Amino acid sequence: MLRFTAAFVALIFSLHVSAQSHEVIKNICKDAMENSQLEVLGRELIDGIGPRLVGSSQMKKAHDWVVEKYKSWGIAAENQQWGEWRGWERGLSQITMISPRTKNINGIQLAWSPKTPKEGISAEIMLLPYAADSISFTKLLPQVKGKIVMISMLQPTGRTDNDWEKYARKEDFEKMKATRTTQTQAWAKRITNTGFNPKNIDSVLERAGAVGIISSYWSFANGANKIFGTKNRKAPHVDISQEDYGLLYRLVEAGQKPVVKIFTDSKETGMQPTFNTIASIKGSEKPDEYVVLSAHLDSWDGGTGATDNGTGVISMMEAMRLLKKWCPNPKRTIIAGHWGAEEQGINGSRAFIEDHPEIVKNIQAVFNQDGGTGRINFLNAAGFVHAYDYLGRWLRGIPDEFRNEIQAYYPGTPSGGGSDQGPFVAAGVPAYYMGTNNWDYSTLTWHTNLDTYDKIVFEDLKRSAIVSAVLAYMASEDPEKASRERIKLTEKDSKGNIIPWPPMQAPIRKGGLN
């Protein structure tokens, strides 16, 4: 009987789509491909406003810009404050080797790094002391006083694996990888032996009197480094390009005692309010049921946050523009959630869930985009038993031209804390991470200094906007409420216990202080 009912609903809905919705979907697709606003949105957000570190003035400008853009399209939007964060503004970073010769060093201070005196700091650099154990390390710590300390390993090559695979002999490639593995393990042991870890070793060195910290988090792509943050309050922490870091490391190993001058001009701005920007197209028949388009607005600031997650934001904004134009009166209310502080712990969406239980209990579906510039090519059904019935119906509403690459995994597995669909899944809401084709996202642009406007592939992004808009439309128009029945989990952890459904977690509402 249940199978018959599901099949009957699918048939009725299919006829409904064919009879009444074909023209809407056709217009959405045509407008998206011929009248796309994505490039304009990208230039205004990514070039004009730039990176959007939580607590920065650019973050607030971005929230305000999103609100005004939505209002210009006749879409209601507002900034909803949910907390506050340590404010910090990036300034100039100038790093120079002044001995044994003069050379400009390619690098940038990490987020929340303290500024230097006006004259900068000049000091000899040294490697993180090697110790057999934490007791030995404590005895060696006085060596760092007055020094700039290097805390990253020396990479054995600046060539990418693609280069090695293309040009090297197979045995030489394998030898290089084995060398890299050995060196990675040795450096990890060097850190572990201190009794600390990569996330807090810089603070330990600062307390011991180091005047600066140098790292290099190479992303294994040409010119790309991961740029994150520091908790230091006195000793500036800078990340240096792979090639320049290698030079300094080798000079230290050769006993040439290189001296580096660091100048940074950042500033603290006190605690700043943090927001989510929420836009909505009110439902005409079921206004108290919701479909959510999701994309976090904040970014790291080594680049301009173009593909993480500027592309997600402008794609969802474009989807909302298309929906407002061609489906101004959807059955259910369609919301766009542009979350704050995702990069610092998925805080904005978690706060929204806490603050709006009346919405959360009535969400039909959440579609989250946070995978870079590529076109959408897979969806994880997130562990909901009947997802094939309703998500399958919605996907079939997308024209073949835009759907033929998309793979959906049923019933899938519940999403953890990797992006903003995770908190909704934890709350029992059908929420889907919309994966994209790669474009070397994980190495080239994800959290790197190369995450910039020129890496956006707008033809792919147009297709993503279409997929998002049509899925939201189909979910809104579906006569049935999506089931929230969960799969029975059977996977076990290392202790033999069944891994539970992801738990709900509270947001950090006052952040950046520790």
Per residue in 23-79, pLDDT tens? 999 999 999 999 999 999 999 999 999 999 999 999 999 999 999 999 999 999 999
What's this model's pTM, rounded to 2 decimal places? 0.94
Phi and psi at 399, nearest 5°, equal -55, 145
Contact yes or no for 273/138 (Cβ under 8 A) = no
So what's the pLDDT on residue 415? 83
State the pLDDT at residue 16: 54
Instruction: Give the Cα separation of 149 and 204 in Å (integer).
Output: 11
Nearest to 470 by CA among 69, 67, 6, 23: 23
pLDDT at 12: 57
114-131: b (≥16 Cβ within 10 Å) or e: bbbeeebbbbebbbbbeb
For residue 23, what are the contacts with CB-CB under 8 A and spacing of at least 6?
none
Q: Are 267 and 69 in contact (CB under 8 A)?
A: no
Say what the pLDDT of residue 94 is: 97
Place of tokens 């000091």: 123
The C-alpha angle with vertex 306 and arms to 300 and 310, in degrees rounded to 5, equals 90
* Entry field: residues in the chain: 514
Q: What is the CA radius of gyration of the chain?
A: 25
Amino acid at 471: L
In the chain, the domains with their CATH numbers are: 11-86+271-477 (3.40.630.10), 93-265 (3.50.30.30)
Q: H-helix or E-strand containing 132?
A: none
- Residues 6 or more apart from 209 whose CB is under 8 A from it? 142, 144, 145, 146
Residue 417's pLDDT band, with cuts at 50, 70 and 90, is confident
Render pLDDT for 450-490 as a digit per residue (tens, 0 to 9).
Answer: 999 999 999 999 999 999 999 999 999 999 999 999 999 99
